[in-house]
Structure 1
Amino acid sequence: MIVTTTVSAGRPVGELLREWRDRRRISQLDLAISADISTRHLSFVETGRSKPSREMVLRLGEHLEVPLRERNQLLLAAGYAPAYAETGLAAPELAAVRKAVRQLMTGHEPYPAAVVDRWWNLVDANASISLMTGLVSPALLAPPVNVLRVTLHPDGMAPYVLNLGEWRAHLLGRLRRQVIQTADPMLTELLEELLTYPCADPVPEVEVPGPGDIFVPLKLRHEDAELTFFSTVSTFGTPLDVTVAELVIESFFPADADTAEYLRAYAARGME
């Protein structure tokens, strides 16, 4: 069981700030210095003896690297309105964001690329992602599609991942770090679910590179071919909207010439 604490109604902002500070393993002194306030003031805020201003809550949230969603919760706990909007991706205000994401994904073809939200639910993908989703049971592709579930479930991609233990450890390690960073109960539940999926050759989450290794590959069997990928992750650099801040674009690249040629041929078949 993985235990996390969550921001709930009625909890004082000082208690929440102290919890985030403990989660980040930062001392009162170090946080006070980085936020340019006195240790005495910070102590009073954490114990509830002093009510922080709106600006103070935002400053401490920034120095604690609290995600935007949780910074809004800190503000609410302190009696202030949220500072960061959470705009639906389909809203007109995010038209430029949608266009940028679509350009990145279509420009990446014939290689697969997908966009996920904070909870790893599929937001969008390019046409080449069908190479992967075509291996998956239709039941797992019913919205909302969770890409981690699709990848590691025995009815998903798992039977076709040739280095399942290694790739599973990589994904679980990423998710576990996200749980620690956000304290999100939905991510905790997802992690606990994924840990129950069978894996004949589990690998520890500590990634120890072998001779010549430069990344954790995804080795995938597709039809009669064995494909090898590496991936890159892109996020928006200066988001001020919760939705935009939580978008992640994962782009897969061929790790060898044979995989690249196969992907080009696969795309050409799809255009016929």
Structure 2
Amino acid sequence: METVGGLLREWRHSRQLSQLDLALAAGVSPRYVSLVETGRSRPSAGMVLRLAAQLEVPLRHRNRLLVAAGFAPRYRERPLDEPDMSAVRDAVVRVLRAHEPYPALVLDRRWNIVLANAPIDLFLADVDPDLLVPPVNLVRLGLDPRGLASRIVNLAEVRSVLRARLSRQVARTGDPVVGALYDEFFAADGPQESAPAPESEVATSMVFRFQGRELSLFSTITTFGTPQDITLDEISIESYYPADGAGAALLRELADGRS
């Protein structure tokens, strides 16, 4: 049976923090952190959430901590298509549409595409139908030879960025499905000698062969600030921008051809 102290200790180790580090960040004594981790002190729900916040524990796992401590879960998980999530979904759809004629999509915590705008369809024309059976996974779509991999000119560079992002996500969340996705595409590569720094990834372009021309795109990631719902905590909006004027003109031309 898992305990709140054991779970907190696992998260603290994964964040490479000492008991002193966590205590100072949370405004408690190191002795108190030790007592909680060893089960000799039972923290309140508020204290569980305070420690979890300092450890940057995802909301899904904060619920798990609360249950282990004997409290009810705090955070709900509601699909975007539920009626009481309609305002959020409408806002996300408006963001996707406003980004046109450039492609944008919404991803869940396991890289599955939840929503996408119309320009995304332009990139899927020659993709193997098996890869388009829901849930469509962006990593698999991008790196599988039956997907977009054969059309990405700088595939090695794109693989390196994706590998670094997945590696960080596995370390941050411990999600076994993301871990399996990492192993599917990167386990055979051996140790990663150098990974792109997060701040550099915004400048890494993906260069596509597209209808006889090359299209260079870079991406940005948008997440919800201070979410109180697990779904919102775990989705992100990935927006793609042309890296040059020629790419912008091509995307506008393709959009005009669809209308």
Q: Does TM, scored on the shorter chain, surpass 0.5?
A: yes
Match of 2:127 among 103, 112, 136: 136
Task: Say if 2:202 and 2:218, in contact at 8 Å, map to a contact too.
Answer: no
Equivalent residues, number: 256
If the length of structure 2 is used for normalisation, what is the TM-score?
0.94
Counterpart for residue 223 of structure 1:
211
Take 1:208 and 1:29, find their aligned partners in 2: how far apart are those partners? Answer: 30
Aligned to 1:48, which of 39, 43, 47? 39
Aligned to 2:154: 163
> What root-mean-square deviation, in Å, do the aligned CA atoms of Structure 1 and Structure 2 show?
1.9
Aligned to 2:183: 192
Give me the whole-angstrom Cα distance separating, in 2, the residues matched to 1:35 and 1:236. 23
Contact 2:164 2:196 in 1 (8 A): no
Q: Following TM superposition, by how much is the alpha carbon of 1:270 offset from its aligned partner in structure 2, in angstroms?
A: 1.1
Q: Does the CA-based 8 Å contact 1:28-1:43 persist in structure 2?
A: yes
Partner of 1:6: none
Q: Distance in 2 between matches of 1:119 and 1:169?
A: 18
Measured after TM superposition, the shift of residue 197 of structure 1 is: 8.3
Q: In the TM superposition, what whole-angstrom CA distance separates every residue of 1:25-84 from its partner, at most 9, and x where no partner exists?
A: 111111111111111111010011111111111110001000101111111111111111
Quick check: 1:35 aligned with 2:23? no
Instruction: Give the letter for the 2:14 counterpart.
Output: R
How far does the alpha carbon of each residue in 1:134-191 deviate from its partner, in whole angstroms, 9 at most, with x for none? 2311110001110110000011100000000000110111111000000111110111
TM-score, normalised to structure 1, is: 0.90
Give 1:5's aligned residue: none
C-alpha displacement of 1:109: 0.5
Q: Distance in 2 between matches of 1:186 and 1:269?
A: 39
Secondary structure of the equivalent of 2:102?
coil
- 8 Å Cα contact 1:121/1:147 also seen in 2: yes
Distance 2:178 2:71 in 1: 27
Correspondence for 2:89: 98
Q: 2:223 aligns with which of 235, 238, 241?
A: 235
How far apart in 1 are the matches of 2:39 and 2:13? 17
Verify the 8 A CA contact 1:113 1:125 in the aligned structure 2. yes
- Matched to 1:20, the amino acid is W
1:256 CA drift (Å)? 0.7
Q: Indicate the SS of the match to 1:123.
A: strand
Residue identity in the other structure for 2:23 = A
The one-letter code of the counterpart of 1:227 is L
1:107 aligns with 2:86: no
> 2:61: which partner in 1?
70
CA distance in 2, matches of 1:31, 1:197: 36
CA distance in 1, matches of 2:82, 2:194: 40
5+ residue gaps, structure 1: 1-9
Q: Percent identity?
A: 49
What secondary structure does 1:253 align onto? strand
Q: 1:68 and 1:167 mapped to 2: Cα distance?
A: 29
Residues 206 and 218, structure 2, Cα contact 8 Å, conserved in 1: yes
